[in-house]
């Protein structure tokens, strides 16, 4: 039976308001007809509640007796923190049993005759709508809002400006960026030191294929003074060494030293640290979104979503033979931003 | 026991002198809820939310949301003496020096994963059965918004411990914010209180996570439930069920026991999982340092689709007038999720515009009977699924010895090919099911019993389906698509908004395409008559001929 | 002076003997290289055995004089450590050319591997096989090892040493079954696409700390329970959508089921 469309047709079940097929007759459960089955269900539910109570007590015992430093070797599962295991097993099982018992009670013993409730229209009646509209119109008329445009307009103006202080108050959430994103703490002569050990680096220390995670020598002091990791988040670099003949191009003349190249360690895509250096292909891979850079070819992007090459740090050696920077990076490190030319 | 009942009764009586408690109880104690397992999916989300609130309060007692540097001196040996933030150190303290702390932390995180998964499964049920139709469109919007808010809340939650994995995730979000045109760098500096990472982010995230968002979620959940209560729950079509009634069991005692019991089941399962399976091993990731990273860096699963989109997107960036437009970040992280959420929240209104249906719907659709809607839903899930899987492409590559480069290309192409294929195959599947329903109704179920008629023909005996099954199949409504309007009416006046109306009619035709017509009463009658005629006639013949009843298989 | 007046001092013979010994000693010391304490001198027999194995199993790709070819890089200067790593993990000899040599069944015995390593080491100076004291972790600091591991290793091998994907089907393998010697050799020689962490940029003490940390990882400490492979949120997500939601869906179906 097809229905045509009106603008406000309430589409019913195919055969109108009365159900064509009445509610099927109630089917009695075993627990309804057999009192022994009902008793059995009762016993099952009671047992579950009792076991649950015991489990809760077990939790308290485990809490008191098992320290957090105790470990349990469960072979292929691993070496587990005993406290976590026991507390979780006791509390978890006990809680689960409450639920299972309650549901079992509902299914087996509570009355399961289906009952019918009738729906009423969810909206208001037409009379209610008219009365509401009349009440509103009466209120508008009594307020004089409609006849006094001066009041209306100045009210709107005052309310419109009310949120302004709330927004302005947020300004001191942070300073303006200025040009801080364009610079790092690398300077001419900044000595390069290996991460963690802080040991300075000589060119002869690196073999072909070496990878070194490094930073400027004054980084720890600056970090201590500023009380945050902001300097490290931009100044981290990696150094790699390849045979000079393998270098296809660099970002600047004389920026490398005897096959040693220094690049930023911050991916130009969205800023993950990037140090997966594959020494034979000279490719640097970012683990976050798989941007790949060719370090033998000016750090150009060879795969993935990054749009900018990896910035190269120009390096040389100082008069003691240690590797130093020639200057700061010549382009901003890290992700692109609106003001980056 | 009776003492307790009496005291409670007295207390309620005193309350009733101040508020209409009895009226409220009268209306709602025996409120009818229909019974079906698919109606319990929203409850999983609700109970997970309650578990999150409970365990979350516990965690706030021990967690220190501060980025001040400290040196760890707790009982986890591999990190003793390592400098880290107070946030990370306190999270380690919860895991290793507070009894039950690790359990509560794991319950909290597992419950968060359950919360998001349950909301999505619940949303799928609502979508595929058409429960979002009038009068429930606003509830659909509340629900969809809760999924979005839950996503942000989850991100905030797992970033609070400031471990290496979640810290890299925060760095990515900072990079995304940075790339927003015009306001990106300002937003970055405002959110982080300066350059990344600063020392303000964790404390600010903490307020967001324990105060702002739980408040919004509580209010949303409350409103969501009030609407379900007021509109009454929808029900599946079946015998005795119409659009104007609700058939089921009373709230008290049956649903109190079933739903209340289910809360304990959800809680119990979550606790058991937390006892046996590790989640977010922050001790193994180590503290966040801006120049360290682990292979296989992913966000929690519900953010995976954004990660997958980011990975697959080509490296598009342009420079105009001295400024950089990072399409490779803006499009997958801002525009794409924005479009997806908008399409999701607007869907009820789009569908009602296309179908022209304006009445209240309280009887659910069987998904097969709304084939286009079901196929659109399957297509959307396929689209989402391709992105989520790509978010794990390096794990998949490592586990199955594949190339991440090839997987990325598979996604770049597959995202356009797989969803339409899923649409087409789902649609055909629904059509097949509709045809099968029609066959069942007209000709009954194949019984497997073969009857050989005296003149040599073999027929298979079909047994009629039960009344309950007939009721379900006959609930299908045939809806004709909107007619394409004429260019002018009978007086030659041009129809206003003709272009819009034509598009609407065409979409309507697409929505109801190929629908198998519901058998009319006459057709049903004819089919039954034919069956009986053949069946009875032949059986009579056989009986008269002294052959066995057709319950035996004949050679 | 008459010849008979040049009288031999009774200590002359002793002095000549001493002079001879000292001269020979200095000469010997000057001629022999200052071998590192950990490397025993290879005997000629070992070198011959190694050369033979090389010709049979390696020369096809690495060239008759190990100079390299289009199928394999030069092995001159790679050192005994590189050979020991590649052959004792079964990566070499390579069964078929591929993006990366996978770990597979070891072809040679320990003696054969020593001989091969000694032979290749004799072709040019390179890193030698670490001794037991080199890989001893008694003085190493576990926490320092963790910091070094996360700085230098986790980005390829994952935070728990389970391995990870690299470009074009290559991978950083799991370290769950590596021996301390293999770990040291890998860092020292940078096999295939792994970078080199030589003893200057990563001194032995640091390597020992890293080895201690990796041994700790191998003990599979999983305080919270099953580690699901230690791959992070991906496996946690798979678990919740299969076992987690599966269990709760089963419970929901049970709750809604009709009772007989």
Same domain, C110 and C149: no
Same domain, C54 and C104: yes
Task: Check which CATH number belongs to the domain holding C175 and give it.
Answer: 1.10.760.10
Q: Which two tokens stand for residue A211?
A: 């990878």
B197 upstream amide cis, omega within 30 of 0: yes
What pLDDT band is residue C26 in, cutting at 50, 70 and 90? low
Closest-CA residue in chain C for B71?
C143
Closest-CA residue in chain A for C258?
A107
Q: Which of A85, A206, A281 sits opposite C193 (nearest CB)?
A: A281
Q: Does B245 touch chain A (CB under 8 A)?
A: yes
Same domain, C168 and C102: no
Domain boundaries, chain B: 31-56+103-287, 305-346+353-431, 432-544
* Contact call for C160 and B165, based on CB within 8 A: no
Q: Which of B186, B192, B470 sits opposite A21 (nearest CB)?
A: B470
pLDDT at res. B544: 65
Measure the CA angle with vertex C155, ends A219 and C146; round to 5°.
70
Chains that touch C (3 or more CB pairs under 8 A): A, B
Same domain, C106 and C154: no
pLDDT at res. B554: 37
Q: Are B274 and A93 in contact (CB under 8 A)?
A: no
Nearest to A250 by CA among A207, A312, A328: A312
Q: How far is CA B161 from the centre of its chain?
A: 28
How far is C175 from B459, CA to CA, in rounded Å? 67
Q: Are B550 and B451 in contact (CB under 8 A)?
A: yes
Measure the CA angle with vertex C93, ends C87 and C98; round to 5°.
115
Task: Mutation target for A interface from C201, C218, C231, C256: give the one with most A CBs within 10 A.
Answer: C201
Average pLDDT over residues B206-220: 97
> Count of H helices and E strands in chain A?
8, 15
* Contact call for B482 and A5, based on CB within 8 A: yes
Residue C172, helix vs strand vs coil: strand
How far is A20 from B518, CA to CA, in rounded Å? 15
CATH 1.20.810.10 fits B31-56+103-287, yes or no: yes
pLDDT tens by residue, B118-175: 999 999 999 999 999 999 999 999 999 999 999 999 999 999 999 999 999 999 999 9
Task: Mutation target for A interface from B70, B76, B172, B195: give the one with most A CBs within 10 A.
Answer: B195
Q: Which of C155, C190, C254 sits opposite A279 (nearest CB)?
A: C190
Q: Which two tokens stand for residue B70?
A: 């400290």
Q: For B296-362, give the DSSP string.
A: S----GGGHHHHHHHHHS----EEETTEEE-HHHHIIIIIHHHHHHHHHHHHHHHHHHHH---S---
Q: What is the ipTM of this complex?
A: 0.91
Given a cut of 70, whether residue A208 has pLDDT beyond it is yes
Q: Which of C227, C247, C252 sits opposite B278 (nearest CB)?
A: C227
Range of the domain at C70: 44-123
What pLDDT band is residue B389 in, cutting at 50, 70 and 90? very high
* Contact call for A280 and C193, based on CB within 8 A: yes
* Contact call for A119 and B244, based on CB within 8 A: yes
Q: Considering all CA atoms of chain B, what is the largest pairwise distance in Å, rounded to the nearest integer?
A: 99
pLDDT at res. B358: 86
How far is C206 from C208, CA to CA, in rounded Å? 5
Q: Which chain B residues are within 8 Å of C253, Cβ to Cβ?
A: 37
Q: Does B193 touch chain A (CB under 8 A)?
A: yes
Domain boundary (C123, C152, C174) is at C123
pLDDT tens by residue, C34-70: 444 444 567 888 899 999 999 998 999 999 988 988 8
- Confirm whether C6 is domain-assigned: no
How far is A238 from A277, CA to CA, in rounded Å? 9
Same domain, C151 and C102: no
* Contact call for B268 and A307, based on CB within 8 A: no
Q: Which chain C residues are within 8 Å of B256, Cβ to Cβ?
A: none
What CATH number should be reported for the domain whose range is A185-325? 2.102.10.10
Nearest to B47 by CA among B228, B240, B264: B264
Number of domains chain C is built from? 2
Q: Does C256 touch chain A (CB under 8 A)?
A: no
Q: HSE, CB side, 13 Å, CA atoms: give it for residue C88.
A: 24
Nearest to C109 by CA among C177, C49, C180: C49
* Contact call for C190 and A278, based on CB within 8 A: no
CA distance A162 to chain B (A): 22
What is the pTM for the complete model shown?
A: 0.91
pLDDT tens by residue, A69-121: 999 999 888 899 999 999 999 999 999 999 999 999 999 999 888 889 999 88
* Contact call for C195 and A279, based on CB within 8 A: yes
pLDDT at res. C71: 85
Query: Which of A52-66, B267-281, B301-315, C43-57 has the least mean pLDDT?
Result: C43-57
pLDDT tens by residue, A285-309: 999 999 999 999 999 999 999 999 9
How far is A104 from A124, CA to CA, in rounded Å? 41
How far is A263 from A312, CA to CA, in rounded Å? 4
* Contact call for B295 and C158, based on CB within 8 A: yes
Q: Are B188 and B172 in contact (CB under 8 A)?
A: no
Task: Mutation target for B interface from C102, C252, C253, C256: give the one with most B CBs within 10 A.
Answer: C252
CA distance B321 to chain A (A): 8
Given a cut of 50, whether residue B360 has pLDDT beyond it is yes
Q: Does A27 touch chain B (CB under 8 A)?
A: no
Q: Which chain C residues are within 8 Å of A78, Cβ to Cβ?
A: 220-222, 225-227
Domain boundary (C89, C123, C157) is at C123
CB pairs under 8 A between B and C: 196
């Amino acid at each position: 039976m097809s229905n045509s469309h009106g603008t406000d047709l309430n589409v019913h079940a195919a055969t109108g308001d009365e159900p064509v097929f009445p509610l099927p007759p109630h089917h009695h459960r075993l627990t309804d007809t057999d009192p022994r089955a009902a008793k059995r269900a009762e016993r099952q539910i009671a047992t579950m509640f009792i076991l649950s109570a015991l489990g809760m007590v077990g939790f308290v015992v485990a809490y008191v007796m098992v320290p957090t430093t105790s470990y349990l070797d469960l072979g292929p599962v691993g070496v587990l923190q005993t406290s976590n295991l026991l507390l979780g097993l006791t509390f978890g099982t006990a809680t689960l049993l409450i639920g299972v018992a309650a549901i079992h009670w509902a299914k087996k013993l509570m009355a399961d005759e289906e009952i019918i409730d009738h729906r009423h229209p969810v909206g208001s009646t037409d009379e209610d709508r008219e009365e509401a509209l009349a009440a509103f119109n009466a209120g508008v008329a009594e307020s004089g809002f409609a006849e006094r445009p001066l009041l209306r307009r100045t009210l709107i103006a005052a309310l419109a400006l009310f949120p302004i202080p709330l927004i302005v108050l947020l300004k001191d959430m942070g300073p303006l960026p200025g040009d801080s994103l364009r610079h790092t703490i690398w300077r001419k002569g900044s000595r390069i030191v290996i991460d963690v050990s802080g040991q300075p680096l000589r060119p002869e220390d690196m073999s072909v294929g070496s990878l070194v995670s490094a930073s400027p020598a004054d980084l720890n002091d600056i970090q201590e003074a500023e009380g945050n990791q902001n300097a490290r988040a931009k100044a981290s670099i990696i150094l790699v060494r390849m045979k000079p003949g393998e270098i296809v191009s660099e970002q600047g003349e004389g920026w490398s030293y005897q096959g040693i190249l220094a690049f930023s360690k911050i991916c130009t895509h969205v800023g993950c640290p990037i140090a997966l250096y594959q020494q034979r292909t000279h490719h640097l891979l970012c683990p976050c979104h798989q941007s790949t850079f060719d370090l033998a070819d000016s750090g150009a992007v060879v795969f993935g979503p990054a749009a900018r090459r990896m910035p190269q740090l120009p390096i040389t050696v100082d008069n003691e033979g240690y590797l130093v920077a020639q200057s700061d990076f010549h382009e901003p490190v890290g992700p692109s931003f609106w003001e980056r030319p | 026991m009776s003492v307790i009942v009496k005291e409670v009764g007295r207390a309620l009586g005193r309350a009733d002198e101040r508020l209409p408690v009895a009226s409220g109880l009268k209306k709602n104690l025996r409120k009818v809820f229909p019974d079906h397992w698919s109606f319990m999916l929203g409850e999983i989300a609700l109970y997970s939310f309650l578990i999150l609130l409970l365990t979350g309060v516990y965690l706030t007692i021990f967690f220190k949301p501060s980025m001040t540097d400290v040196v760890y001196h707790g009982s986890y040996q591999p990190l003793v003496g390592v400098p880290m933030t107070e946030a990370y150190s306190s999270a380690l303290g919860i895991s290793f020096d507070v009894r039950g702390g690790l359990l509560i932390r794991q319950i909290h995180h597992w419950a968060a994963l359950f919360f998001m998964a349950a909301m999505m499964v619940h949303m799928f049920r609502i979508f595929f059965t058409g429960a979002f139709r009038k009068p429930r469109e606003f509830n659909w919007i509340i629900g969809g918004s809760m999924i979005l808010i839950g996503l942000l809340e989850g991100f905030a939650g797992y970033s609070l411990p400031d471990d290496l994995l979640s810290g890299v995730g925060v760095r990515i979000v900072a990079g995304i914010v940075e790339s927003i045109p015009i306001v990106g760098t300002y937003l970055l500096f405002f959110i982080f209180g300066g350059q990344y990472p600063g020392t303000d982010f964790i404390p600010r995230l903490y307020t967001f996570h324990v105060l702002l968002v739980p408040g919004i979620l509580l209010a949303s959940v409350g409103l969501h439930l009030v609407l379900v209560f007021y509109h009454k729950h929808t029900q599946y079509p079946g015998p005795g069920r119409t659009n104007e009634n609700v058939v089921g069991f009373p709230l008290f005692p049956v649903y109190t026991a079933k739903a209340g019991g289910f809360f304990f089941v959800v809680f119990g399962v979550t606790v058991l999982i937390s006892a046996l399976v590790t989640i977010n091993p922050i001790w193994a990731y180590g503290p966040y340092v801006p120049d360290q990273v682990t292979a296989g860096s992913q966000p929690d699963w519900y953010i995976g689709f954004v990660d997958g989109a980011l990975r697959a997107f080509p490296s598009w960036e342009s420079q105009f007038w001295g400024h950089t437009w990072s399409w490779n970040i803006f499009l997958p992280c801002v525009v794409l999720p924005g479009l997806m959420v908008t399409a999701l929240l607007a869907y009820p209104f789009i569908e009602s515009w296309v179908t022209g249906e304006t009445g209240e719907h309280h009887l659910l659709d069987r998904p097969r009977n709304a084939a286009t809607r079901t196929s659109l839903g399957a297509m959307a899930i396929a689209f989402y699924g391709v992105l989520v899987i790509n978010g794990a492409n390096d794990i998949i590559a490592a586990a199955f010895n594949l190339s991440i480069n090839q997987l990325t290309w598979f996604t770049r192409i597959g995202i356009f090919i797989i969803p339409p294929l899923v649409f087409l195959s789902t649609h055909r599947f629904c059509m097949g099911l509709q045809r099968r329903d029609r066959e069942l109704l007209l000709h009954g179920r194949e019984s497997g019993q073969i009857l050989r008629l005296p003149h040599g023909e073999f027929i298979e005996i079909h047994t009629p389906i039960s009344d309950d099954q007939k009721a379900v199949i006959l609930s299908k409504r045939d809806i004709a698509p909107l007619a394409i309007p004429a260019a002018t009416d009978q007086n030659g006046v041009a129809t206003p908004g003709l272009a819009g109306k034509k598009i609407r009619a065409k979409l309507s035709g697409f929505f109801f395409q190929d629908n198998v017509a519901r058998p009319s009463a006459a057709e049903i009658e004819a089919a039954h008559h034919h069956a009986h005629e053949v069946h009875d006639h032949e059986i009579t013949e056989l009986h008269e001929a002294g052959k066995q009843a057709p319950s035996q298989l004949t050679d | 002076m008459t010849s008979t007046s040049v009288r031999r001092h009774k200590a002359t013979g002793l002095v000549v003997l001493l002079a001879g010994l000292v001269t020979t000693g200095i000469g010997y010391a000057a001629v022999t290289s200052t071998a590192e304490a950990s490397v025993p001198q290879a005997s000629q027999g070992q070198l011959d055995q190694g050369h033979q194995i090389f010709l049979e199993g390696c020369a096809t790709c690495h060239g008759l004089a190990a100079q390299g070819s289009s199928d394999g890089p030069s092995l001159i200067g790679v050192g005994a450590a590189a050979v020991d790593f590649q052959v004792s993990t079964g990566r070499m000899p390579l069964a078929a050319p591929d993006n990366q040599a996978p770990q597979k069944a070891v072809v040679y015995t320990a003696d054969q591997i020593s001989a091969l390593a000694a032979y290749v080491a004799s072709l040019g100076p390179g890193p030698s096989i670490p001794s037991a004291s080199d890989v001893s972790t008694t003085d190493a600091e576990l926490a320092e090892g963790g910091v070094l591991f996360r700085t230098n290793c986790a980005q390829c091998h994952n935070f728990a040493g389970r391995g990870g994907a690299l470009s074009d089907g290559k991978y950083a393998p799991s370290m769950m079954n590596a021996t301390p010697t293999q770990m040291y050799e890998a860092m020292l020689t940078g096999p295939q696409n792994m970078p080199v962490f030589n003893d200057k940029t990563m001194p032995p003490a640091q390597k020992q700390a890293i080895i201690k940390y990796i041994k700790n990882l191998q003990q599979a400490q999983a305080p919270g329970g099953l580690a699901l492979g230690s791959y992070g949120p991906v496996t946690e997500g798979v678990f919740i959508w299969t076992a987690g939601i599966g269990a709760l869906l089963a419970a929901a179906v049970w709750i809604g089921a009709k009772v007989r």
